[in-house]
A = this chain, B = another copy of it.
Amino acid sequence: MTLSEKAYLAIRRDIIQGKLAAGQPLRMADLSERYAMGFSPLREALSRLQVERLVVAEALRGFKVAPLSVQEMQDAIDTRILVESDALRLSIQHGDDDWSAAIVAALYALNLQVERSIVNVWDIEARHYAFHRALLAACQSPWRLEFFERLYATTERYRIPILIAAGTPSPSRRDIQAEHSAIADAVLAHDAETAVRLLAEHYTRTAMTISARMATVAA
């Protein structure tokens, strides 16, 4: 793997995980020290992240981490519902037994990790992504999957603080595991309408939780 690729993955991860804070300027000298490489691979990575909207660039003034806003979050989740509802219908239509089995496996692995420790947010997060990806895997549409990935990464930045807060004493009022199971059940039963409705509700709840949290934090 090239340094450019490593830089891309590392910076992407650090932005999504909030280690590089929203709005923070990304100075070449700092990045060069932090990731132990020269400017060239770093700038290539930042160029890619700019297209993904995780990074904002201004000519001759360098790069900064893209800011967060309730508006963007709401837009991203609305668009996710649009794209993923359609992709899920297609996936249910085209999916074979391997696809179904992969969903069962992904959900099982996710639940294992959730019960094991709420502390290790990143292992849970990876499996959460894998579950949602598995649902859409059979949609046969590279472009819809591309947009799913783009929006998943965008919204992940907003969900992280909530996941971390979930590790604190205050228990979430949502039973996310039950939501995931219900979605999986509907999908495996090839009940597209129910599956799409539950998925949309799942995301709408997430949007409301994030929105409420951002309002309190900002106040």
Listed in ascending order, the chain A residues whose CB lies under 8 Å from chain B are 1-2, 4-5, 40, 43-45, 47-48, 50-53, 59-60, 72, 75-76, 78-79, 82-83, 86, 140-144, 146-147, 151, 154
CB neighbours (8 Å) of A45 from chain B are: 47
Q: List, sorted by A's number, 7 A–B pairs whose CB atoms are closer than 8 Å.
A: A4-B43, A5-B59, A51-B52, A53-B146, A79-B144, A82-B82, A147-B147
Main secondary structure of the interface of A (DSSP, over half): helix
CB neighbours (8 Å) of A79 from chain B are: 141, 143-144, 147
Q: Which residue of B lies closest to A151 (CB)?
A: B143
Tell me the smallest distance from the CB of A151 to a CB of chain B, in Å. 7
Cα–Cα, bound, A214→B83 (Å): 28
Cα–Cα, bound, A151→B147 (Å): 11
Assess whether A2 is in contact with B75, with CB atoms less than 8 Å apart: no
Q: Which residue of B lies closest to A52 (CB)?
A: B51
Q: Which residue of B lies closest to A79 (CB)?
A: B143
Assess whether B1 is in contact with A59, with CB atoms less than 8 Å apart: yes
Assess whether B48 is in contact with A50, with CB atoms less than 8 Å apart: yes
Q: Which residue of B lies closest to A144 (CB)?
A: B79
CB neighbours (8 Å) of A5 from chain B are: 59
Interface centre among A44, A60, A143 (most CB of B within 10 A): A143
Assess whether B72 is in contact with A142, with CB atoms less than 8 Å apart: yes
Assess whether B47 is in contact with A143, with CB atoms less than 8 Å apart: no
Cα–Cα, bound, A91→B140 (Å): 29
Tell me the smallest distance from the CB of A184 to a CB of chain B, in Å. 24
Q: Which residue of B lies closest to A51 (CB)?
A: B51
Tell me the smallest distance from the CB of A7 to a CB of chain B, in Å. 11
Q: Which of B40, B141, B151 contacts A43 (CB 8 A)?
A: B40
Given A75-B144, A76-B143, A143-B151, 13 extra CB contacts under 8 A: A4-B47, A40-B40, A44-B44, A44-B47, A45-B47, A47-B47, A48-B50, A75-B141, A75-B142, A75-B143, A78-B143, A79-B141, A82-B83
